[in-house]
Amino acid sequence: MKITIEVDCTPEEARSFLGLPDVSAANSVYVENITKAMKGVSNPAQMAEYAQALAPMGQVGLKLFQSFVEGGMKAASGGGTKKASD
């Protein structure tokens, strides 16, 4: 016997139904702090310092964030768009 139940609800409704807290206010503060920290950043080392202070995932999250930032900076400077030579 197989029983299938499909629930159609928004994420907010699901959180409320499961008794999970509404973290939208905390998320807004986190995003605001990240945005403020990123203003005026001129190099990856400075970005890593800010990320370490703000990132909740610790060292693993910092390494992931660092590789993301370095990749973005390479792409922005044209380093990520190398073409194969014939």
Helix (H, G, I), strand (E, B) or coil at 43: coil
Is the overall model pTM greater than 0.75, yes or no? no
User: Contact, 80 vs 71, CB < 8 A?
Assistant: yes
User: Contact, 74 vs 80, CB < 8 A?
Assistant: yes
Q: What is the pLDDT of residues 28-83, one digit of tens each?
A: 887 887 777 677 777 777 777 766 666 666 666 667 777 777 777 777 666 544 44
Which 8-state DSSP code applies to residue 32? H
* CA pair distance 10, 13, nearest whole angstrom: 5
Tell me the Ramachandran region of residue 23: left when phi exceeds 0, alpha when psi lies from -120 to 50, beta otherwise: alpha
